[in-house]
């Protein structure tokens, strides 16, 4: 059995910070409401002239540097995003060109907040099958450009950023013990971008007037309950697949959608909150990029110790959910 490892991680957060107090200035909301309902105090906003591939480029270069590899060594780039530079070509192709990964093939994965786990799953399976050797798994989003800044129940949640990992067959680095992904298309209408695809005329005066190009959350409090169950189930699945229980796990790095979802998940799993890595207060929800950003942060700030058992888990629009167990 091949040993698949994450040999480098990287992330990039834009410098510009938008606090809840900044949002108070143009929206009928308060810092108090946002913080107590979501756990978010501030989020990052991409530079005006930056596209998702620009954020991903910096995160990827940092991951390659940590891994000690060059752009030419990468033979596959999988970009998880719901905010690609363009829908055609894939966002991954713009990234490939910017990184000068001339020996790589590249494509996008669309799985909303679970995107990084879907991309990691693919990388793991392709390397195990012998199809690829060094895979750049990257997730990046500019969510602040696709939210409707007039929809107060959802726009306050999102932020921008990118995270990356280099995955390869290796005796070193964090071992990928297993990956698990799931979808439920019947729930797709709860978090979606209704316009921009073949269902409607991609862009028209009418679609723009109706705001169909914005991310839409329908009955967000219902998806809250589903999220708690799926998150907890995904964590348990990752542990059980490797003969462990959740109490054997040293750290859970979950997608960060709402602190109350994570508190409810911790309660359901019967784990203390200090076993759950948090970035929500400072970055909000960066969809697919949240998990790899948190992973990179935990790797670099010393939270992750050698041999730690780490669960990555996510739930998001689609519906999608997934997990992975790593031995650090």
Longest dimension (CA), the chain: 57
Given the complex with ligand UT7, which of 99 and 293 has the nearer CB atom? 293
Shortest spacing between CB 153 and ligand UT7, in angstroms: 4
Q: Which stretch binds ligand UT7 (CB under 6 A): 14-22, 69-77, 148-156, 237-245?
A: 148-156
* Paired tokens of 293: 């950003």
284 binds ligand UT7 (CB under 6 A): no
Is residue 153 within the footprint of ligand UT7 (CB under 6 A)? Answer: yes
285 belongs to the catalytic site: yes
- Six-digit token string for 94: 């713009």
The C-alpha atoms of residue 177 and residue 172 are separated, in whole angstroms, by: 13
Taking the least distance from each CB to ligand UT7, the nearer of 102 and 153 is 153
Catalytic residue among 56, 113, 155, 235: 113
Pick one of 113, 162, 252, 295: the residue that binds ligand UT7 (CB under 6 A): 113
**Helix, strand or coil for residue 54?**
helix
Q: Which residues inside 43-102 make contact with ligand UT7, applying CB under 6 A? A: none
Instruction: For residue 280, give the nearest of 264, 260, 300, 296 by alpha carbon.
Output: 260
> In whole angstroms, what separates CA 149 from the centre of its chain?
22
Q: 134 with 75: CB under 8 angstroms?
A: yes
Binding status of residue 228 toward ligand UT7 by CB under 6 A: no
Binders of ligand UT7 among residues 16 to 45 (CB under 6 A) are: 29, 33-34, 37-38
Parallel/antiparallel/unpaired status of strands 134-142 and 76-80: parallel
Torsion of CA 147, 148, 154, 160, to 10 degrees: 20
User: Is 265 among the residues that bind ligand UT7 (CB under 6 A)?
Assistant: no
**DSSP per position, 40-74:** --EEEE--TT--HHHHHHHHHHHHHHHHT--GGG-
Q: Is 229 in the site for ligand UT7 (CB under 6 A)?
A: no
CB-facing half-sphere around the CA of 31: CA atoms within 13 A: 10
Interface stretch with ligand UT7, choices 59-67, 207-215, 220-228, 297-305 (CB under 6 A)? 220-228
| Contacts (CB under 6 A) with ligand UT7, residues 231-260 | 257-258
Structure tokens at 117: 């786990």
113 labelled catalytic: yes
Binding site for ligand UT7 (CB under 6 A): 29, 33-34, 37-38, 113, 152-153, 156, 191, 220-221, 223-224, 227, 257-258, 285, 315-316
């Amino acid at each position: 059995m091949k040993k698949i490892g994450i040999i480098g991680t990287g992330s990039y957060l834009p410098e510009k910070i938008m606090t809840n107090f900044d949002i108070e200035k143009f929206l009928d909301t308060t810092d108090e409401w946002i913080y107590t309902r979501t756990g978010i105090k501030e989020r990052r906003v991409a530079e005006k002239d930056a596209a998702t591939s620009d954020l991903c480029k910096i995160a990827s270069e940092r991951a390659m540097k940590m891994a000690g590899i060059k752009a030419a060594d990468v033979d596959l780039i999988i970009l998880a995003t719901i905010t690609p530079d363009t829908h055609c070509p894939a966002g991954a192709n713009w990234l490939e060109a910017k990184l000068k990964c001339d020996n790589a093939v590249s494509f996008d994965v669309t799985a909303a907040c679970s995107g990084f786990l879907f991309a990691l799953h693919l990388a793991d399976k392709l390397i195990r099958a012998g199809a690829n050797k060094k895979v750049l798994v990257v997730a990046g989003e500019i969510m602040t450009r696709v939210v409707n800044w007039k929809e107060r129940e959802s726009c306050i949640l999102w932020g921008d950023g990118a995270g990356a990992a280099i995955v390869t067959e290796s005796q070193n680095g964090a071992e990928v013990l297993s990956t698990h992904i799931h979808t439920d298309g019947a729930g797709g209408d709860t978090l979606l971008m209704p316009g921009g695809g073949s269902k409607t005329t991609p862009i028209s005066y009418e679609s723009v007037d109706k705001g169909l190009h914005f991310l839409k959350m329908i009955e967000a409090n219902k998806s809250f309950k589903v999220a708690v169950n799926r998150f907890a189930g995904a964590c348990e699945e990752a542990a059980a697949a490797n003969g462990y229980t959740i109490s054997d796990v040293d750290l859970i790095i979950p997608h960060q959608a709402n602190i109350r979802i994570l508190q409810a998940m911790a309660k359901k799993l019967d784990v203390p909150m200090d076993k759950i890595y948090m970035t929500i207060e400072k970055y909000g929800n960066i969809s697919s990029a949240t998990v790899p950003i948190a992973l990179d942060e935990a790797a670099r700030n010393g939270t992750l110790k050698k041999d730690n058992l780490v669960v990555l888990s996510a739930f998001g629009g689609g519906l999608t959910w997934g997990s992975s167990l790593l031995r650090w």
